[in-house]
Amino acid sequence: MKRLVTITGPVAAAQMDGYLIEERLLDRIMIQVIDKGDGNLEIAFDERDQRYLSQFSAAQLAEWLHEAMLHVEAACPLETRDGKAARIADEAPPRARSSIKAMRPARQEHDLPAGLEFLRRT
């Protein structure tokens, strides 16, 4: 399951600069990565950039978002709105604890039974 995380823990959203996708056209256009909470991530352009992006076709925008998803999956740099570094982490389900316990090694003379004194370190 994929999650968006920072050094302090999980976050709901992060962003990347569009410069990584299309250097001149998308410079300073922020692409939002939203953690839906079920292991799925959603990618969209920031609302504040919609006016600028309206000059491009829907097919072009979809292509850029697809390329952005490939960059995100390849661990490109992300950040939260307040500038903290973020990344995508695979969160594995918790593993069940084993009921098998390790035996305590013999450390003192009285720990060894009478016939096993030869095992004592000298």
The string of pLDDT tens digits covering residues 86-106 is 888 876 555 666 677 777 665
CA distance 11 to 96: 26
Q: What is the pTM of this model?
A: 0.67
Distances (CA, A) of 83 to 6, 37, 77, 79: 11, 22, 11, 6
Does residue 29 contact residue 54 with C-beta atoms inside 8 Å? no
Q: Where are the domains of the chain?
A: 2-90
Tokens in use for 53?
């992006």
- The tens place of each residue's pLDDT in the chain, 122 residues long, gives 778 888 888 888 999 999 989 888 999 899 999 988 777 889 999 999 999 999 999 999 999 999 999 998 888 889 998 889 988 887 655 566 667 777 766 555 556 677 777 776 65
- What pLDDT score does 53 carry? 94
First to last CA, the chain: 52
32: helix, coil or strand? strand
